[in-house]
Amino acid sequence: MGLKLAFFGSSLVSAYWNGAATYYRGILRALATRGHHTAFYEPDAYGRQQHRDIPDPEWARVVVYRGEDGLAKALDEARAADVLVKASGVGVFDEVLERAVLEQRRPGQLVVFWDVDAPATLARLEANRDDPFRALVPRYDAIFTYGGGPPVVAAYTKFGARACFPIYNALDPDTHHPSEPIARFRADLGFLGNRLPDREARVDRFFFETARSMPERTFVLGGSGWDDKPMPVNVRYAGHVYTHEHNAFNASSLAVLNVNRESMAALGYSPATRVFEAAGAAACIVSDAWPGMEYFLEPGREVLIAEDAAGVVEHLKRLTPESARRVGEAARRRVLAEHTYAQRALAVERALVGHRLELSA
Evaluate whether 43 touches 75 at the Cβ level (below 8 Å). no
pLDDT greater than 70 at residue 361:
no
Q: Look up the domain containing 251 and give its range.
A: 183-338
Asked if 354 and 240 sit in the same domain, the reply is no
Which tens digits make up the pLDDT trace of 3-35?
A: 999 999 999 999 999 989 999 999 999 999 999
Q: Give me the mean pLDDT over the 311-340 stretch.
A: 98
Q: How much is the pLDDT for 263?
A: 85
Q: Give me the mean pLDDT over the 163-172 stretch.
A: 95
Asked if 25 and 164 sit in the same domain, the reply is yes
- Going 241 to 270 to 343 to 252, the CA torsion angle's sign is positive
Which tens digits make up the pLDDT trace of 254-275?
A: 999 999 988 888 889 999 999 9
Percentage above 90 pLDDT, the chain: 89
Report d(CA 288, CA 178) in Å as an integer: 23
How do 4-8 and 37-43 pair as beta strands?
A: parallel
Number of domains in the chain: 2
Which tens digits make up the pLDDT trace of 49-107?
A: 999 999 999 999 999 999 999 999 999 999 999 999 999 999 999 999 999 999 988 88
Residue 178, domain member (yes or no): no
Report d(CA 29, CA 44) in Å as an integer: 22
Asked if 11 and 112 sit in the same domain, the reply is yes
Asked if 214 and 315 sit in the same domain, the reply is yes
Q: How much is the pLDDT for 360?
A: 44
- In this structure, what CATH number is given to the domain that contains residue 260? 3.40.50.2000
pLDDT greater than 80 at residue 280:
yes
Which tens digits make up the pLDDT trace of 180-230?
A: 999 999 999 999 999 989 899 999 999 999 999 999 999 999 999 999 999
Report d(CA 72, CA 113) in Å as an integer: 19
- The b-or-e profile of 286-324 (16+ CB within 10 A means b, else e) is bbbebebbeebbeeeebbbbbeebebbbebbeebeeeeb
Asked if 160 and 191 sit in the same domain, the reply is no
Which tens digits make up the pLDDT trace of 29-62?
A: 999 999 999 999 999 999 999 999 999 999 999 9
Which tens digits make up the pLDDT trace of 115-148?
A: 999 988 998 999 999 999 999 999 999 999 998 8
Q: How much is the pLDDT for 148?
A: 87
Residue 153, domain member (yes or no): yes
Asked if 320 and 348 sit in the same domain, the reply is no
- pTM value > 0.85: yes
Asked if 61 and 75 sit in the same domain, the reply is yes
